[in-house]
Amino acid sequence: MKIKTWLILSYFIVMALPIVALYIFYISLNKYDERQDLLEFMNLSSIEAEVGMQLDEPGLYHIQPLENYSFIQELVKDNMKITLFREDGVVLYSSLSNSDWLNNNGVQRVYQNLNEIQKNHRTISIKRTVHDKDQLAGIYEISLSRDEWLEGVHNRTLVIGSLFGSTFLVIYLMVVILLNRKLNRPLKLLRSEMTAFANGKEGSDKRLRQSNDELGELINHFEGMKAQIIKGNAELNRQQKEKEYIVASLSHDLKTPLTVIRAYSEALQGKRKLTIKEEQEYTEILFEKLDYMKEMIDNLSVYTSLEASTEQHDFVQVDGEEYFEMMLAGYDEPCAKKGIGLSVIQDVCGEYLLQPLQMMRVMDNLMSNAIRYTPNGKKIWIAVISKSKRLPNWVFDPMLDEVEGWRKGGTIVILQNEGEAIRNDDLIRIFEPFVQLEANRGKGGSAGLGLSIAEKIVLLHGGKIRIWSKQDYGTLVSFWLKEESCNESE
């Protein structure tokens, strides 16, 4: 027998009566809320007009004895709170309690929703900025309690809630009478699965009953909807994180080519006498970096406007020896400027399928980190080694065996520098976006995206990347690329 006949009456009751009750509840609260919104807005505006001019004094937003704020307490009413923040988020004064004095609420939290009226169940508030000439001096926040609104909502909730509860009880009894165990058990399990899914849980291990009636169709639709929502949410989250990731990385990626441009520009300005050939070479490098920056910005602008799933990766076939020679060029001047020795080895052959500009981006990011963390007078080594070639003899001894085993089956690019070692705890998280080691290493100058960008590009090429670091030696970073057939006789 079809369930449809059994459900006609219960559907009507279950759908109609709760909707009527909820509609009455909604209309009541909505009208009350609209009226209270206007009253609260007028009240807050009036109070702000009274105290705003006295709080708009730059001299209040410096650390000083609490006695200097005693006049503010006289402005405060029973349901009112005034809080003064310094421009860096430090609480300078709070009319309710002095326990928060000089506490830091965080810049992001303090600056959030400036000049906007904010409401929650208990308070309505507004934050305003105070300027000293053209400089931000501080921020004040005025908050009013919503006692009257809370009381009105409470009273209406009790009345409508009681009616709704009674209605639900009647409906429940009718459903119990009309429906039998054939429907109750699978519906209960389905409801449990829906609730678990809505709360982000996996649900029970019991499998929903698949039948040929209307309930079976409902279960099938639920399973399909669940799979579609999970897939859609995962894709949306990935796209959003990808866009945020790209926008954040843009400013970081411009620094390295700008460093090279500045170094060669200074050389062309006459600090060191150059030959005509050197001037031509430096000029070519400058234009190369400028073109690279322009293309990177153009590509990122186009990339952010497209769906991540429709992105087309432009891989091209390149000659290994020629390409890696070009990729490793241009780092002599930045190293020489900092007094760092640079040694470069290239021992590759064959062709590679890759994105040339993206791989240059990887090398720029890694080299930028190496220069930043290598002390004056120390040394940096770079090598590109095919799978059939021997590793350079300068590879740090404690890392040699691991690198040898790790590099099997492909070409590796090695960048090794002398300097302070990276802690093991940091090595675990070093490729995560926005992870910065400057606090530990004290060098500064990084947004924490360089290594995560490098990892993303290397993985896109089907490769892998890893960092080794050892106290009293330094740090070695290497990424592995798949290589085409290599004729060693070449």
Query: What percent of the chain stands above pLDDT 70?
Result: 79
The 10s digit of each residue's pLDDT in 198-243 is 787 765 555 565 666 667 777 788 788 888 888 888 878 876 776 6
CA 333 from chain centre, in angstroms, equals: 34
Pairing of strands 135-145, 118-119: unpaired
How would residue 299 be classed by pLDDT, with cut points 50, 70 and 90? very low
Place of tokens 């009507």: 12
What is the four-CA torsion angle of 221, 223, 224, 227, rounded to 10 degrees?
A: 160
Termini Cα distance of the chain: 80
Tell me the one-letter amino acid at 425.
D
The tens digit of pLDDT for each residue in 162-205 reads 877 787 787 777 767 766 666 777 777 778 878 887 787 765 55
Q: H/E/C letters for each residue in 122-144?
A: CEEEEEEEEEECCEEEEEEEEEE
Asked whether the predicted pLDDT for residue 308 surpasses 60, the reply is: no
Q: Is the dihedral of CA 368, 369, 373, 375 positive or negative?
A: negative
Sign for the CA dihedral angle at 70, 76, 78, 79 comes to negative
Comparing 420 with 36, the larger pLDDT belongs to 420
* Least confidently predicted of 307-316, 379-388, 462-471: 307-316
Residue matched to tokens 């039948």: 211
pLDDT (tens digit per residue) in 430-489? 887 655 554 444 343 444 557 777 888 888 888 999 999 999 999 999 999 998 766 655
Structure tokens at 97: 């309690």
Rg of the Cα atoms in the chain: 33
Q: Name all domains of the chain by residue range, CATH numbers in brackets.
A: 16-150 (3.30.450.20), 254-312 (1.10.287), 314-490 (3.30.565.10)
